[in-house]
Amino acid sequence: MSVQFTDNVSAVAKRDILNLENKIGVFREGEMTEEHFRKYRLSRGVYGQRQPGVQMIRIKLPHGRITADQLIRIADISDKYATGNLHATTRQDIQLHFVKLADTPQLWADLEDASITLREACGNTVRNVTGSAKAGIDPDEPFDITPYAYAIFDYLLRNPICQEMGRKFKISLSSSEKDNAYGYMHDVGLVPRVQEGKRGFKVMVGGGLGAQPYMAETAYEFLEEDKVIPFIEGVIRVFDRYGERTRRHKARMKFLLQDIGLEELLRRVEEERLALKHKTYAIDTRPGSENIPLEASSSINPAELSTDERYQAWLKTNVFEQKQKGWYAVQLRVLLGDMHSDKARALAGLVKQYAGDDIRVTVNQGYLLRFVKPENLPALFAGLDALELAKPGFDSAADITTCPGTDTCNLAISSSYGITRALEKMMTAEFPDLIHNNDIKIKISGCMNGCGQHSVANIGFHSSSVKNGAYVIPALQVLLGGGFNGKGEGLFGDKVVKVPTKRGPEALRTLLNDYDANAFDGEYYSDYYARQGKNYFYTLLKPLADLKTLSQEDYTDWDHTEQFVTEIGIGECAGVVIDLVATTLTEATDKLSWAQEAYAESRWADAIYHAYNVLITGAKGALMMKDINTNTQHGVVSDFDKNFLGDGFHEQEGDFKALVFSINKNEPTEEFAQSFIAKATDFVEQVRAYRERHIEQNGLPQLQELVIAKDS
């Protein structure tokens, strides 16, 4: 059945959705490789799960901002197409699980009707632009970063410079010098500053997590606000051109920065300046409507709750006064980041009654409500308590951040959810005062890749495994000393020791008791870790890593009863064969049509960049015919220039380089766009003609097995 649209869905979104529907059909007919289809669907927010035949859908919410009606729409869609669960992520997205591939186009259309997108939520694109949930109400902020976060998101969405990079690219904006959006671990991290009465940002580049975390380097201590988006565009263009594309584990921005250094990176960014669509980019910072409730509607007298310990704990740990005096923000602690659709709809009702219509998903998988009047706090507490959303201790040591782990993820090793429940249960029973400790953050990931952001936790864990003879045991890698220290400096944790996962609660108990006994008054955990040193903590936890003392339960994972085995998630299956060169040239033709379309709409810079990608993709297809492996885009150009000299393409070495990289030597004018597209068109035709000659001389090309999805 074809997708049904409402009038609220934009023309560009309709085209995206219909293209997705078409690509699903092409893939199932065996006319597209699994890798090409994966690349395509990921950039449309469709991610294959561990379980065969179903998808995870990532909903892209710029800086976590969402209205009550949008929350209701997501809840309704989860009921219709998924499991009724809404999973909040550390990227301030919401994910739905167990969705059939065939349902994804209509699901997307239903979201676009409420102005919500899936575009570029996954894949080798600019992922969701995250921002401090407190932005606009933070007492410490020099100005509200909300319009800047949205402007960056909007500028890069569907931008041709970032559709098929070597790897993902992440941007964050903190609301103050406290860097509460973790800019130091991002490809671009922005911290707002005011200098001589002008707004701007401290700009950090090249940070990243994963198996090899890397601290972002400071590109500018202060960059004027209207230069931020052009700078980001320049960085992305450099990453797209020079970033690794073959070795996935080396393909992040942080590795390019390490290879060439900050000075050279900034030089290459400056080289891109002439080709930029905008040399400066002013951002509209006029305040929008907050949709603040005008009248109090609480029927509960605050005096009735003055002796209620739970209410008082909630006020102390989950509520703060905004920079707008007399208004309060309320933070919701959500176990595992999971909320059922019924609860989400009820929460939206409370927002409409008691708060401003501006909900923020937080980086620790909770929610933040804004513009609550003090007289409405008791009624809001009662409503949240009925939904089990008034648990005190938001963003405290007791509020663990975690990814879904083996519940859904292909890459996960063991159960993140199971160990998180066990740790929170232990802390509630034995360390109840931790709800008041906001200096210790505990984060868990299901593998080393870091979706739970374990590397920036004061106490972090990531799932792993250890061998004991013929058996494999689920394990936790313990990381300590990350997060922020007493000086407000961001740090990455050290890998200290690996313990069986069932000993996770005892490991955390040991660490917390040791901290209570030996830390100085007011000493931050990361400062305490630095003072004691890694060897101290290795010795402290080493007895728990001793495999000679294993019990039978150590051989099973949390939430499981069967003996643990490491498994690679089951992907799409069933096979045909396909001509990779032909499909690559089809890609080049598609990109040429995008260039022509952009030109017809007078989007000269976009047209030029699409034409640039036509040249890159065509050259890659030609190199495949000579079995020449390609790496960076810059390498593709160099290899083609050298290996196709005199093959009917160019007569002098350097000619092809000069053609492709003329993109940086010209302003993005109509005249240059027209000329560049014409040359890209001629080039694709030349490559096709070369391929025909190649087939005549060498026979049909080698075909590659194609893996396609089972009907789902």
Which among 112, 145, 161 is the end of a domain?
112
In a domain, 287, yes or no: no
Region 498-506: what's the mean pLDDT?
A: 95
Could you tell me if 517 and 588 lie in one domain?
no
Same domain flag for 137 and 246 = yes
223 pLDDT band, cuts 50/70/90, is very high
Q: What is the pLDDT of residues 634-668, one digit of tens each?
A: 999 999 999 998 888 888 999 999 999 999 999 99
Query: CA geometry: angle at 169 spanning 13 and 34, to 5°?
Result: 65
pLDDT at 709 over 80: no
Look at the pTM and tell me if it is higher than 0.95. Answer: no
What CATH number has the domain bearing residue 78? 3.90.480.20
Tokens standing for residue 304: 């009735």
Percent of the chain with pLDDT over 70: 93
Predicted local confidence at residue 570, as pLDDT: 40
510/411 same-domain check: yes
Full DSSP string of 335-366: GGGEEEHHHHHHHHHHHHHHS-S-EEE-TTS-
Contact between 413 and 460 under an 8 Å Cβ cutoff? The reply is: no
Residue 574 pLDDT greater than 70, yes or no? no
What's the mean pLDDT in 572-584? Answer: 54
Would 296 be classed as within a structural domain? no
Q: Which residue has the higher pLDDT, 180 or 630?
A: 180
Q: Are 546 and 614 members of one domain? A: no
SS3 145: coil
Same-domain pairing of 68 and 93: yes
Q: How many CB atoms neighbour CB 485 within 10 A?
A: 20
Q: 320 is written with which tokens? A: 């703060």
For the sheet containing 442-445, what is the strand order?
A: 401-402, 442-445, 459-468, 471-480, 494-500
Which domain CATH number covers 408?
3.30.413.10
Report the C-alpha dihedral over residues 674, 679, 684, 686, rounded to 10 degrees: 150
Whether residues 439 and 530 share a domain: the answer is yes
In this structure, the answer to whether residues 248 and 351 fall within a common structural domain is no
Which residues, listed in sequence order, are joined to residue 401 by a DSSP beta bridge? 443
Query: Domain for residue 392, yes or no?
Result: no
User: What's 631's DSSP letter?
Assistant: -
In this predicted structure, what is the pLDDT of residue 306? 67
Query: What is the model's pLDDT at position 577?
Result: 39
What's 95-114 look like in SS3? EEEEECHHHHHHHHHHHHCC
Count of alpha carbons within 13 Å of 540, Cβ hemisphere only?
21
Could you tell me the pLDDT band of residue 712, with boundaries at 50, 70 and 90?
very low
Q: What is the pLDDT of residue 711?
A: 34
Selected residue with higher pLDDT from 301 and 96 = 96
What pLDDT score does 705 carry? 41
Domain match, 454 and 592 both = no
The domain in which residue 346 lies consists of 302-386
Backbone φ and ψ of 632, nearest 5°: -80, 165
| pLDDT of amino acid 698 | 74
Write the pLDDT tens digit of every residue in 357-401. Answer: 999 999 999 999 999 999 999 999 999 999 999 999 999 999 999
DSSP string, 157-185: TT-GGGSS-SS-B-EEE-SSTT-TT-GGG
Sign of the alpha-carbon dihedral angle for 616, 621, 627, 629: positive
For range 401-413, the mean pLDDT: 85
Highest mean pLDDT: which of 33-37, 71-75, 558-562?
71-75
Beta bridge partners of 402: 444
pLDDT over threshold 80, residue 297: no
The larger pLDDT score, comparing residue 299 to residue 475, is at 475
How much is the average pLDDT of 490-495?
A: 94
pLDDT score of 586? 86
Lowest-confidence pick of 104-108, 297-301, 345-349, 473-477: 297-301
Last residue of a domain, one of 112, 147, 178: 112
Q: Which pLDDT score is estimated for 295?
A: 56
Q: 647 or 575: whose pLDDT is higher?
A: 647
Domain co-membership, 259 together with 135: yes
Q: How confident is the model at residue 707 (pLDDT cuts 50, 70, 90)?
A: very low
pLDDT reported for residue 290: 55
Q: Is residue 645 part of a domain?
A: yes
Instruction: List beta partners, residue 590.
Output: none
Place of tokens 């006319």: 31
Q: Which of 170-174, 407-411, 432-436, 630-634 has the lowest mean pLDDT?
A: 407-411
523 and 435 together in one domain: yes
* Number of domains the chain contains: 5
- Report the distance separating Cα 239 and Cα 252, nearest Å: 9
DSSP assignment, residue 550?
A: -
In angstroms, rounded to a whole number, what is the distance separating the alpha carbons of residues 703 and 693?
Answer: 18
User: Domain of 621: which CATH number?
Assistant: 1.20.120.330
Please determine, for residue 703, whether its predicted confidence score (pLDDT) is greater than 80.
Answer: no
Give residue 695's pLDDT band: very low, low, confident or very high (50, 70, 90): confident
- Please provide residue 578's backbone torsions phi and psi, each rounded to the nearest 5 degrees: -150, 155
- Rounded mean pLDDT of the chain? 91
Same domain for 142 and 88: no
**Distance, CA of 471 to CA of 466 (rounded, Å):** 9
Q: Is residue 168 part of a domain?
A: yes
Q: How confident is the model at residue 404 (pLDDT cuts 50, 70, 90)?
A: confident
Given a cut of 70, is residue 255 above it in pLDDT? yes
For residue 562, pLDDT beyond 50? yes
Domain final residue, candidates 112, 141, 163: 112
Whole-number Cα distances in Å, 175 to 107, 140, 361, 410: 33, 8, 15, 34
Residue 436 lies in a domain: yes
In a domain, 566, yes or no: no
At residue 700 the predicted structure's pLDDT band, cuts being 50, 70 and 90, is: low
Amino acid identity for residue 109 in this structure = A
Name the pairing type of β-strands 704-707 and 575-578.
Answer: antiparallel
Does 567 have pLDDT greater than 60? yes
In a domain, 569, yes or no: no
Indicate if 346 and 412 belong to the same structural domain. Answer: no
Q: Does position 611 have pLDDT exceeding 50, yes or no?
A: yes
The mean pLDDT of 515-535, rounded to a whole number, is 96
Task: Please provide the size of the chain in residues.
Answer: 712
For the chain, give the percent of residues with pLDDT over 90.
Answer: 76
* 491 neighbors 534 (Cβ within 8 angstroms): no
- Pick the more confident residue, 245 or 100: 100
